Structure 1
Amino acid sequence: MLGLGFHWFDVNVDIIFSGSNAMITPSKNLKPGTLDPSFGTDGVLLVPIPEISANNVPALCALPDNKLLAIMPLLGVRAPVVVVRLNEDGTLDTNFGDSGAGYTELPFMSGEALSGINALADGGALVRFRYPENGNVYSIIIKLRSDGTFNTTFGNNGVVRILGWNRSQQSEGAGSLQVNDEPLGRAQGGRRYSALEDPVGNIVLIDEIDFFGRARVVVNRLKSDGSFDENFNGGRAIVELPGVEYQWLLRGGFAVQSDGRVVATGVYGDDTYRGAFIVRFDNSGSPDAGFNNGAPVVIPTNADSRLGHVAVNMRQDGTERIVLAGYVASGGNYSGFMVVLDGDGYYDPLFNEGQPLYSKFSYGSFWWSNCNARNDGSIIAVGFGSNELHDGGTLTACYRDDGTLDSEFNDGQGFVVYAGPDGSRPPSDMADMDDRRIVISGSGFDRNNNWVLRYLG
C-alpha cells in the first residue's frame, strides 16, 4: 500500500490549530492550489449567505460562464429546497429563478435524499433526488432551463418520477416509470445520486432495485422528454457479473463516454467478502464486448470498499481514459483508492505502473469522494481524512498522468488541506471549472460555519 507523506506546513498555506481544529488562511502567492481571492472572502464563501436562509450546499456544478449552480435546503421544518445561481465572485445572481429572487424552489422538503446537480449542454441543469415512500424508493429527475424555470418539455412540467426499489414486486421488472400529478412526498433518506446528459441529449442515471430479495444495480436511460429510451434495452439495463460469485450488487459512480457508452461501478459481495466492479454498456444497453475483452473489471478487496465517483475525459492525444476514486476499509480505517483505466477497460500502464493507487497521506483514515480527469492528463481528487491530531480535513490533490503528485500544485506539495473555522466534516461536492479552478462545498461542526471554497488550479 502506498502511503503518501503529509506535511502540515508549507510555503503557500498556513494551517492554524486551535485545540483539535484547523483552518487555512489564503496564500499571498497566487499559484495553483491556493485559495482564489476573487471568490467569497479570500477564497471562501461561508453559508448561509445573507439572501438565503440555508445552512449547507450538498451539491453544486460549474457553468461555462464561470458561474455556479448550487442546491440549498432552506432552514425550518418542512422548508423547501432551492437551486441558486452564484456569480463568479460568489454573490447571488438575481437574474436566475423566480421573480428576481436568485433561486428556484423545488417540489421537495429539506432532507437527506438530496442527490446531485449537473449542467446541460443548453445551459440548463438536471437535479436528482431519491426518497422512500410506502416501502418503495423513488428517483426524481428535474430539468431546469438556463433561467432556472422548469423545462416543461420534460416529463410532467419538468419532473419525472421513477420507481426504483420496490419490495412488493421483487422481479426483474421492478422499476417502472411514473409521470403523474401525485404528491411527491417529503424527500428524506438515501445517498447521493446524480443524472447526466449524454452526447445526444439522453439522460442517464444509475440506481438499485430489489431483484427477488437481493440488491441489483441498473442503468436507466431516458429520452430528452423524460420517457424511457426503448433503444437502450427498453430503457433499463441490469448489471450482471458473469464468472463472479456474489449475492448482491450496490451502485457506485457512473459516467458517460464521448460516444455515449455508459461506465457503471459498484460493489459486489455477500456476508463474507466484497469487491469493486466496473462494467460498460454499449448504446443499445447491452454489456459491451469491447470493454476488457467482454468481461467485467473486478477488484477483490476483502474489505468494505466503494468506487463512489467516476470521471472520463479525452486526453489531448485523442485517447480516452476512465478515472475512478473511492475507498477500501480494513480494521475500521479507510484508505483512498484510485483506479485509472484506458477507454476500453484495461489498466492504464502509465498511471501508477498499471496498478490501483492506495493513499492515506498521514491520516489514520482517509477516502476519496470526488475526482475529475482533465484533458492534459492530470487528475483532480477531493477527499477527507482524520487522525488523532484533529477532527478532520478536506484534502484536494492534483496528480500527474503517471499517478505522482503534481509539484506545481501548492508549491511542491501536490495537495492542500482545508479544515474550516471549526473543523470539517467530509466534503459535500466538487466542481472542476473550465478554467481549472476547483470549487468544493463542505460543512463544519457548527451549522453556521458551512462553506464553499475555490482554489486556483
Structure 2
Amino acid sequence: MNSKSFQAPAGAGQIDPTFGTNGLFIPNVPHPTDQHISVRAMTLDEDGSVYCVGTVLLAGGRSEYVCFHLSRGGVMDPLFGTDGYVRGSFDTSGDNVTHSGGEHVLIQNVNGVQKILLVGTLISGSKFKRALVRLEKDGGIDLSYGKDGVAVIDLPTLEKGADIPPLPDAKRTGNQNGAPVILLPDNKVLLVKDAMTGWGIKQPSYIVRLNADGSLDTTFNETGYISFFIEDANEIFLTSVALTDDGNYIAVGYALYSHIPGEALFVQVDENGQLDHSFNGSGYLTIGELPATQFYLDQLTLQPNKRILGMGVATDEKNAGLLISREQDGSPNIQFNHARPLLTPLENNGIGWLFGKTQPDGHVLVAGAAFANNVVIARVLNEGKLDTSLGQGTGYLRFAEARTNGTLAVAFEDKSFLFTAWFTTPTGEKFGIARGLLI
C-alpha cells in the first residue's frame, strides 16, 4: 500500500505516515463470511491507544456490534477479544431477526478496574432501543453489568397520533465536550435518544440517565429519563449532551416543523431531571434564521466562562458550517461573532461541523466534511472567527485523500486527530483509520 500521498512529508494537513501501515489502519471483517465492517466512534485511553466501535454486516444481512483496540501507532491488539475483535448482539434472547450496531464507546474505572462500555442500538422490527454492553479490558463480557453483561433501555412507545405533553413556550431567537453518550463522575451514564416513531407521528426526544449497573436511574425525574417536545414541532432530535461546571446537563439538537424551517435547539435540565428555568426562562431555546435556512446542531462543547458552543450545519442552496455560542443562561455570547450564529461556507463549498473540542487556550477545534465529502478541520477563535494561522491563511485544513461517504468518526489528540474515511489505495478504495496532523 505504498500510495504516494501517504509518503508526503509529515506536517499540518498531512496523514501521519507512521500510523498503521503507510499511514492507514484498514480493519478486516472479523470472519471471512462477513460482508462489511464500519467504525462509528473512537475513544482514546490514557496511554494513547484507541478503542473503536461500530457495526459488522453478516452474510445473511443481519448486523452485530463490533469493537477492536489499536495501539497509539495504529496496530491492532490481537489479545483483545477473539483475534482482536469483540462482536455480538444486544439481543440476549437469541432471536435471529434483530440487528445490533455499536455507536459509542466509553472507558469506565470501576473500583480501580478498567471497563469498556459499548453503546449502540438494538433494532427489533420497527422498534429502535438504546442498548449497552460492558467489556473487561481483555474484551471479555462483564457479566456483572445489566443482564449477562447487556442493558437494553425501554422507553415509552408512542402510539400513532398520541398526545405528547408540550414544553412551555420558549423564546425563539465538567465534561467539556458533548457527545450522544457521556460518562458522569460517579460512573453513571447520560445519553440522548430520539423516539424513532416514524413519519406522521409527533416525535419527542429523551435525556436518559443510567446507574453504573446499566439500570435506569429513577432519582432522575423519577423515571430515569425526561422527554422533550415543542407543541408546534413535528419532530425533536437531541444529538449531543454535556455536563456543565454547575452540575447541570446541557443538550443540543434541532426541531423540525411543517410551517417554518428547522431550528437549532438547546435544552438544559438539572441533576434531578427537571427543566432548568435559569436557562432562557424556560429550560430550552430554539434559534432559526428565516425565511428558508434550516439550522441543525450535531455537537457541542463548553467554552471558557461557562459558555456553550453548538456546532452543526445551516442548509439552504448550499450547506455552511454552523456555530452558535450562548452564555450559561441561554443569552447570546456578544463576544462571539457579534452575538450572531457563525456560518462558515469555506470558499462557497458545503460543510457541516460534526465534532469539536475545546483546547486549553479556550479556542475550539471543529471537524466535519466538505469539498465532496473530504475531511476538514478548523480552529475557531473565542471571538467567533476562523484561525487563519491554520491552513496557510484559509483557516482550515483539508484532507483531500479522505472521503467520508456520509459518516465520520473523530478522536482528538494533542497535536493531531484520528479519523475514519474512505481512502484511495493501490488496490482500490478502502475504509480505514488515519491520523491527521495539525502542526
1: distance between equivalents of 2:366 and 2:395? 11
Q: Once superposed, which parts of structure 1, at least 4 consecutive aligned residues long, lie more than 6 Å away?
A: 49-53, 109-112
Deviations 1:45-87 (A, max 9, x none): 3344999975432221211210011124346414643210100
Residue pair 1:23, 1:419 contacting (<8 A) in 2 also: no
When residues 132 and 96 of structure 1 are mapped into structure 2, their CA distance, relative to the original with a 3 A threshold, is closer
1: distance between equivalents of 2:10 and 2:421? 24
Length-normalised TM-score, structure 2: 0.80
Deviations 1:167-213 (A, max 9, x none): 4485769xxxxxxxxxxxxxxxxxxx842211222111111235994
Length-normalised TM-score, structure 1: 0.77
Aligned to 1:105: 87
1: distance between equivalents of 2:366 and 2:100? 24
**Any idea what SS the aligned residue of 1:124 has?**
strand
- Deviation at 1:441? 1.0
2: distance between equivalents of 1:26 and 1:339? 38
Instruction: Choose 274-283 or 252-261, whichever is displaced more.
Output: 252-261
Instruction: Choose 72-81 or 130-139, whichever is displaced more.
Output: 72-81
- Deviation at 1:285? 0.4
2: distance between equivalents of 1:112 and 1:412? 44
Asked whether 1:353 is paired with 2:343, we answer no
Aligned to 1:58: 40
1: distance between equivalents of 2:410 and 2:157? 31
Aligned to 1:195: 181
- Deviation at 1:153? 3.0
Asked whether 1:304 is paired with 2:294, we answer yes
**Any idea what SS the aligned residue of 1:288 has?**
coil
Q: Which amino acid aligns with 1:395?
A: V
Pairing 1:18-57 to 2, within 5 Å after superposition: 25=6, 27-28=8-9, 30=11, 32-48=12-28, 55-57=37-39
Q: Which amino acid aligns with 2:300?
A: V
Residue pair 1:137, 1:166 contacting (<8 A) in 2 also: no
Q: Which amino acid aligns with 2:115?
A: G
Residue pair 1:164, 1:207 contacting (<8 A) in 2 also: no
1: distance between equivalents of 2:421 and 2:274? 38
Pairing 1:224-243 to 2, within 5 Å after superposition: 224-234=212-222, 235-241=224-230
Deviations 1:112-139 (A, max 9, x none): 8542223335543332222432332211
Asked whether 1:271 is paired with 2:262, we answer no
1: distance between equivalents of 2:241 and 2:64? 28
Aligned to 1:206: 192
- Deviation at 1:358? 0.4
| Cα RMSD, aligned residues only | 3.3
Q: Which amino acid aligns with 2:265?
A: F
- Deviation at 1:214? 1.1
1: distance between equivalents of 2:144 and 2:20? 36
1: distance between equivalents of 2:120 and 2:29? 23
**Any idea what SS the aligned residue of 2:337 has?**
helix
Pairing 1:43-442 to 2, within 5 Å after superposition: 43-48=23-28, 55-74=37-56, 76-77=58-59, 78=62, 80-98=64-82, 101-107=83-89, 113-121=101-109, 123-164=114-155, 166-168=157-159, 170=162, 194-209=180-195, 210=197, 213-234=201-222, 235-241=224-230, 245-273=232-260, 274-301=262-289, 302-312=292-302, 315=304, 319-331=305-317, 333-386=318-371, 391-420=372-401, 423-433=403-413, 435-442=414-421
Residue pair 1:425, 1:445 contacting (<8 A) in 2 also: no
Could you tell me the percent identity over the aligned residues? 20
1: distance between equivalents of 2:244 and 2:273? 14
When residues 409 and 365 of structure 1 are mapped into structure 2, their CA distance, relative to the original with a 3 A threshold, is closer
Q: Which amino acid aligns with 1:203?
A: V
2: distance between equivalents of 1:359 and 1:396? 12
- Deviation at 1:405? 2.5
2: distance between equivalents of 1:171 and 1:80? 35
- Deviation at 1:270? 2.2
**Number of positions where the alignment pairs a residue of Structure 1 with one of Structure 2:** 401
Deviations 1:322-380 (A, max 9, x none): 2211112113x322111122344333333223221101112442212222222321211
